[in-house]
Every structure is written in structure tokens, then in C-alpha cells.
Structure 1
Amino acid sequence: MLHADETPARVGGGFKYVHVACTPELTLFHVGGRGKANIDAGGVLPGFTGTLVRDGYAPYRHLTDADHAWCGAHLIRDLCGVHESDLAGQQWAEVMATTLLAAKKTTEQATAAGRDALSADEISHLRACYAGALAYGREQNPPDRDGKLSRAGTLIERFATHRDMILRFNVDLAVPFTNNQAERDLRPVKLQQKISATWRTLQGLADFATLRSYLSTATKHGKDALDVLEQLFTTGPWLPEPAISS
């Protein structure tokens, strides 16, 4: 399973993006634009055949070898934004958010009980609640006379189109509800930008991404940052032990 995310970074007078592909043991950052070729430039995601946990960033869609799981925290934020803009007219968003949180609780309880899957009845019930929230949303947000959808209507159709990706954590209990792993790994990048406001050169940003990949991975293996930096400039870089296939 891989987690992926991206964040904008100011370089001089423009912007680039820092992309991350990570696991609980490994972190890789690279710098590029926002297109799918820039995602592929990291060399990790193309051809990946496991589960990719990510947000709604459209260029990830070309990674068709992977099973995609949509971060529930991003979806809850989208639903809250729609609901708070019109509490009476967008009650469907609250119903959908409640459904997602109920699904999350159900999977957590199953995992805590040592189960490796939800029952067919549990999955059927959650999907029925999901379908009901969609129907309520369409009732509250019909297209206009030209057939165009509002912002809320577009969000509803996103939930309809990507149901399986959004609910993947219900059918595979190993899939987390959120993409917190990638967001945690990106936090130092965002903090550095908050402090410095901008990187002077693209090469400087690329070097920062390389260094953060090294330090983040080492930290995940219980290594001290100063120790691995000293090792880098003396005896050579620290490297994690390769995984052993059973």
C-alpha cells in the first residue's frame, strides 16, 4: 500500500509542487508540476499494482494498475464546506458525512475485534445508507434548466461516480480511512515554506526534497537525524534494510 499527496511550493516568482509517495517505513519526495507526467517522474507510482491512498487530485487517475482509495478526511471537509454554506438546503451533505463516519466506526470495531472483513449485511447496510444520501442530495440539488449542476450537485456526482474508491476501506480493512501518512510526511515541507516563504532556486527545492526523503525514512526506522547526517558525510549514506520476501 502506498500513500500519495502533493503540496505547492513557491520558487522565486512561481510555483512548483512537492510530490510524496510513502509508506510507514519509506518516504520519497520529488519536485515537479501538477500533470500526470510529473507524478510519474518520481519513479514510484507508474506500474504500482497495490492500493494507492490519495486525495481527489485528478492526475492520479491515469495510474490504472493500482486500486485507488479516496481520503475520507478530504471528503468530510468537502461535505462540511457545502453544508455550512446552506444548512437547510444541503442537509444531504450532513447525512453523507454521517454515513462515512459510521462506516469508519464499523471498520474500526471490526478490526478491534480481530476480524479481517465486514459481513455482507454490514456492507449492504452501509451502501444502502450511502445510496440514500446520494438520492437525498440529488433531490435537493436538481440541475438547472440548462442541465448544469451546482457546486453541490457536482460533489454529489463525484460521490456517485467514485463510490467504490471512497468505500474501499470497507471492503479492505487494511486500507485506512484517511491519507494521514502522506500529510504527516509533507508537514515539514509546509513548515519550511511557512518559515522561509519561498525557495530561491528550483535546484534548492529539489535538494531539500532529496534531503527530506532521506531524513524522513531514517526517522521512520528509529534513526537519529544528526547521526544519519554525520554518516552521510563520513562513511556514506544510511540505507534501510531491504524487505525480505517470505
Structure 2
Amino acid sequence: MLRPRPQPGKGSGRRRGKQPGAPGSTLELVADPDHVVEHRPGRCANPVCGERLEGGREYGRQRRQVVEVPVPQPVVTEHQLISVRCAGCGQVTEPPVPDGVSGRMQYGTNVKAAAVYARAAQFLPYGRVAGLMADLLGVRVSVGFVHQVVTEAARRLGPFTSHLAALLHVQDVLHADETPARVGGGFKYVHVACTPALTLFHAGGRSAADVDAGGVLPGFTGTLVRDGYAAYQHLKSAEHAWCGAHLIRDLRGVHETDPAGQGWAEVMAGTLLMAKKMTEQAVAAGRDALTAEEVSHIRACYAGAVAHGREQNPPDREGKLSRAGTLVERFATHRDMILRFTVDLAVPFTNNQAERDLRPVKLQQKISATWRTLQGLADFAALRSYLSTAAKHGQDALDVLKQLFTTGPWLPPATAPS
């Protein structure tokens, strides 16, 4: 039941490139190309003939298209504000200043959106963002400008963050997790509360107060899918569901140290995976719940695994439990939380949704190293919340960033599903 961990330095065994069964992609011809260039032969290709072909009848036509981007050339628009004196009273009237025209010279919305996109969506360091803008767009911006516009974008997201926190707070099922982030030579944490349609990050420490600081979890009454971290235990109004993938990893770790003496771990893993398969089959069949007999069978197997684990891991003379014994008692104490997915089919077996949503934090650190300040990490969290949620709704990242700098942040619908 418990597969061995992959050996460090060894690949998965899959070949590189497209995997079998993965969807392919190719460029399709467009119906209305921007330019059409006709290529006609001038003379007959027959070396004996060599007749000129100006009046020859067309025999066939192949369509071949090349997609290219134009050479970047910034467009400068000058706004002339003309004051006019009234002939009757002498009053001088000035026109209103257009939105986004705040000074004598400034960059436009597209430039700002591109800078934030390169930083928050592609995780580039500020200096490389400035270089990219110059090389690909022909716009020579400073590193200070990139920092300034990223800060401005995060500041503009206040209404989005409040709206998202309110939506998440009333979901039936919510995923929560946290991951460390290096800040100024130390560690802080990025917390996430999410569903398949919504993502909200916030930055801070790792205490219960930091968990609550996102504004979503205090008073939450749905089901919270999480790992075993103790800082979530104070959320008494919520139902809790323990991530099955974390539990399987814990069982594997115990079993690998002593396969002969920790057979209970394999039995428990088999029970969890059996229950997972039963719930997946029930959902595929359109059922709302497992039968009472199915739930009873799962719990009987679960109780047997716990009893077996206690037999194999009795306390020592001082009453202390080994690592394996402690894990046995964890399963005994938290049975209902661990098996929540068997009594509510809307609850998934794993917390993979939160783990997937948190991956950009690690990707950012790999590409751009650490954050210098906690505020920088908070700005990153706000922007990733915005871009992740927009992507889940099929929104284009550049489009929602342009909207952020014009009419205000894009907002997910109030009826966003769990």
C-alpha cells in the first residue's frame, strides 16, 4: 500500500517533453491575416520550356502564415490643457485633467500593467523587470519605477481583498495552509485561504493570531481542510478535515523505519486509500453520501488499524510513547476530523488546493531570492491573491492589471462557487 519514496537525484522515469495522453497544441491558420503576400513563379520550371508565366492559369494555392510581433515603439500622447477666458465676465476656465495624466511626464496604464505582470506573474527581480521592459517594449524604466508601480498596484487592491475575504468566509468548504518565506534574513509566513475559485494570501508569523489576521477564518462555520498544525485548533466554530496526503506521508515515514514492526501503518494507509476510492466512486455515480454500511466498514477498518498500532507501540516504563506510538494516538484522537471526507462528499481527501496555490511563493524565492521587507511580502501576497483568483475565473492577467490602474480592481462574482 505504501509506495517507497523516490530516491534523491533520480528522475521519475518519464521521458522529457509531452507526456502520453497530454493534449497537444499547434498554430492554426487565421481567417483574416493582417497582410497577404502572393508568391508567383516567373518562368516555367521545365528546363526545356522556360516559358514566362504572367498570363498562366492558377493551378493551386498553398496558405502559409507567419506570426510575428511588431518592433516595439513607445507611443507618446501629449495632452494640452487649454484655458479659455470668458468674453462676458473675464473668468478663466481650465479643462479637467484627464485620469492618469498627473504630471508633466508619466508612463501609461499599459506600461504599469506590464511592469507589475513581469514582477507578480513572472516573479522577476525588479532589475530584470526594468531590463525586460527596455529590451522587449522599448520603454526604459528605472528600478525605482518598477518598485513604485508594484507598491501602487498592491495599494489599489484594498476593495478586492475585502470583497474576497467576505466571499471566502461564507464558503461551505475552505482550504487553509501556510509556507515559510525568507524576509530580511529571517522567516515569515504566507498564509492562504482558498477554494477552486478563490485565493487569498496574507503575510505574517505563524501563531493563531497570524492565522486569523487574514480576516477569513475567525467565526468561519464551514469545513476547514488543513494539515495538523496546532494554530488552527482555536477555530472552534468550524468543522475540521485533516489532509489525507499529509497523513499518508506520516504513515510512510513510520513504516519505512521499521516495516516489520509497524505493519499497522500500512493497514491504516490502506484504509484511508480504500475510503478515498469509495468516496470518488460515489461522487462519480452522482450520489450525495456513502451508505451507512460503507461508513461503518471504513470505521471498523480504521479502529482495527488503531488497535493494531497500539499493540505494536506500547508506552515505555515511564509511560512515554515513541514517535510511532504518538502517531497512533493522533489517529485515535482525531478520527472524526481525519474521516470527515467520508461523511461529507463535498470535502476532498487532500489539501492539494492550498498547496498548489502556495507554490508561487517558492517559485518567487527560486527566481528572485528573498524579500527585503515584510511590506514587500505583503504586497506580493496581495497581488498573487488578485492574479490567482482572476486566473481561476478565466481572466487575462494583463487585462485585470490594466483595469486595476484605470477603473479599479476586477472583482469575482458574489456567487463564486466553493
Deviations for 1:45-79, whole angstroms, at most 9, x for unmatched residues?
00000000111111101000000000000000000
Residue of structure 2 equivalent to 1:108? 280
Contact 2:177/2:193 (CA < 8 Å) preserved in 1? yes
The answer as to 2:319 corresponding to 1:159 is no
**Structure 2 residue runs without a partner (length 5+):** 1-172
Distance 2:199 2:389 in 1: 5
**1:177 Cα deviation (Å)?**
0.3
- Count residues with an aligned counterpart: 245
The corresponding residue for 1:240 is 412
Question: C-alpha separation between the residues in 1 aligned to 2:289 and 2:413?
Answer: 32
1:145-184 to 2 correspondence within 5 Å?
Answer: 145-184=317-356
Determine which structure has greater relative contact order: mean sequence separation of CA pairs < 8 Å that are 6+ residues apart, divided by chain length: 1
The aligned residue for residue 126 of structure 1 is 298
Give the AA of the match of 1:75: L
- Tell me the CA shift for residue 222 of structure 1: 0.4
Runs of 4 or more, structure 1, over 3 Å off, are none
> CA–CA distance in 2 between the matches of 1:227 and 1:85?
52
User: Which residue number corresponds to residue 61 of structure 1?
Assistant: 233
TM alignment of 1:178-217, pairs within 5 A: 178-217=350-389
**Out of 3, 14, 30, which is 2:202 matched to?**
30
Distance 1:122 1:111 in 2: 14
Matches of 1:243 and 1:119, distance apart in 2: 31
- Structure 2 residue 406 is matched with structure 1 residue 219: no
Letter in 2 for 1:41: A
Please say if 1:144 is aligned against 2:316: yes
2:197–2:416: 8 Å Cα contact kept in structure 1? no
Give the Cα–Cα distance (whole angstroms) in 2 for the partners of residues 161 and 76 of structure 1: 17
| Alignment deviations for residues 103-126 of structure 1 (CA, whole Å, 9 cap, x no partner) | 000111111111111111111111
* CA distance in 1: counterparts of 2:209 and 2:176, whole angstroms: 15
Q: Distance in 2 between matches of 1:235 and 1:136?
A: 63
* Alpha-carbon distance in structure 1 between the residues aligned to 2:296 and 2:272: 14
SS at match of 2:206: coil
Amino acid at match of 2:324: A
User: What SS is found at the alignment partner of 1:62?
Assistant: coil
Q: 2-side partners of 1:68 and 1:107: how far apart?
A: 18
- Identical-pair percentage: 84
C-alpha deviation, 1:194, in angstroms: 2.2
Trace 1:77-92 onto structure 2 (pairs within 5 A). 77-92=249-264
Post-superposition shift, 1:244?
A: 8.5
Match of 1:229 in 2: 401
The equivalent of 1:13 in structure 2 is 185
Per-residue deviation, residues 141-195 of structure 1 (Å, max 9, x unmatched)? 1101100000011111000000000000000111100011111110111211222
* Amino acid across the alignment from 1:176: P
- Aligned letter for 2:283? T
Cα deviations across residues 198-225 of structure 1 (Å, max 9, x unaligned)? 1111111010000000101111110011
Return the structure number with greater strand share.
Answer: 1
Unpaired stretches in structure 1, ≥5 consecutive residues:
none
TM-score calculated relative to the size of structure 1: 0.97
Taking the aligned partners of 1:136 and 1:99, their CA distance within structure 2 comes to 13
